[in-house]
């Protein structure tokens, strides 16, 4: 029996919610759309799946093309398939989230995007399409996974103080943590190892840690 699939194929795209910490606050990367629809509106970076490309690859490529940011760890967290979510034609959105250390970042908007910018998650502009909903879901997933700590390393430089790690944890979960209990938890997880160096600020230096082998 020959294959006949009588329905039109939808377009398939990825959208990526990239988070980082800036001045202790959780920020998300948005682009200003350079094309209709929603010309001039802010949106999550993303774009269409190409032939011979897996969805994960598509997400990484689109993010790099549109913002100059290369994220090697992308987590799929949901699909968005409302038939009218894109006014042009039917587009299935495959949503990813990523975490990045802010010292790795150099934003470069591409042709598709007029500009790329960080926004604190508590102070967001109106978003194009259903991206507000996608971002809301991304934040939910992020908060629920923060307790495993290890993803948080991606938000920090390679070497970090425990206070920085706690700050990342608090920014992602939205809850304050007890300093001593937090350190006990980190120690029991065994996912960091101390270095011989210290971060020098304006007060007592803090020991630097790194992700355990």
Partner DNA sequence: TGACTTAGTGTCGTCAATACACGAACATGC
Partner DNA sequence: GCATGTTCGTGTATTGACGACACTAAGTCA
Specify the residue, 135 or 162, whose C-beta has the smaller distance to DNA: 162
Distance CA 166, CA 172 (A): 10
24 lies in the site for DNA, by CB under 7 A: no
Task: Give yes or no for residue 148 binding DNA (CB under 7 A).
Answer: no
- Cα(19)–Cα(96) distance, rounded to whole angstroms? 11
- Please tell me whether residue 106 binds DNA under the rule CB under 7 A: no
Distance from C-alpha of 20 to C-alpha of 28, rounded to nearest angstrom:
7
List the single partner that 213 binds among DNA, a second copy, none, CB under 5 to 8 Å by kind.
none
For position 98 contacting DNA by CB under 7 A, the verdict is: no
Find which of a second copy, DNA, none residue 200 binds, CB within 5 to 8 Å per kind.
DNA
Please give the residue ranges that form the binding site for a second copy (CB under 8 A). 1-3, 5, 7-12, 35-37, 39, 48-56, 76, 78-79, 81-83, 88-90, 92, 94
Q: How far is the CB of 211 from a second copy (least distance, A)?
A: 23
Member of 4, 111, 202, 213 binding DNA (CB under 7 A): 202
- Please tell me the distance from the alpha carbon of residue 95 to that of residue 74, in angstroms, as a whole number: 10
For the CB of residue 155, give the shortest distance to a second copy in the complex, in Å: 24
Smallest distance, Å, CB 167 to DNA? 9
Q: Does residue 23 interact with DNA by CB under 7 A?
A: no
> Does 163 help bind DNA (rule: CB under 7 A)?
yes
Which of 76, 85, 90, 183 contacts DNA by CB under 7 A?
183
Collect all residues with Cβ–Cβ distance below 8 Å to 141 and sequence separation of at least 6: 75, 77, 78, 97
Is the separation of the CB atoms in 206 and 200 below 8 Å?
no
């Amino acid at each position: 029996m020959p294959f006949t699939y009588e329905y039109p194929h939808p377009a398939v795209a990825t959208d990526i919610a990239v988070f980082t910490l800036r001045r202790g606050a959780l920020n998300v990367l948005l682009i200003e759309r350079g094309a209709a629809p929603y010309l001039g509106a802010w949106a999550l970076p993303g774009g269409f799946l190409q032939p011979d490309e897996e969805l994960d690859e598509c997400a990484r490529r689109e993010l790099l093309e549109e913002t100059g940011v290369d994220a090697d760890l992308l987590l799929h967290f949901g699909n968005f398939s409302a038939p009218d979510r894109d006014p042009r034609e039917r587009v299935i959105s495959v949503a990813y989230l990523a975490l990045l250390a802010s010292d790795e970042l150099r934003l470069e908007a591409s042709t598709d995007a007029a500009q790329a910018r960080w926004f604190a998650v508590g102070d967001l502009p109106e978003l194009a399409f259903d991206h507000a909903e996608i971002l809301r879901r991304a934040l939910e997933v992020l908060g629920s996974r923060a307790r495993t700590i290890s993803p948080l390393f991606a938000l920090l430089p390679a070497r970090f103080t425990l206070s920085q790690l706690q700050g990342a944890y608090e920014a992602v979960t939205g809850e304050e943590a007890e300093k001593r209990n937090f350190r006990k938890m980190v120690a029991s997880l065994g996912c960091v190892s101390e270095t011989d160096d210290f971060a020098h600020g304006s007060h007592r230096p803090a020991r630097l840690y790194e992700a355990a082998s």
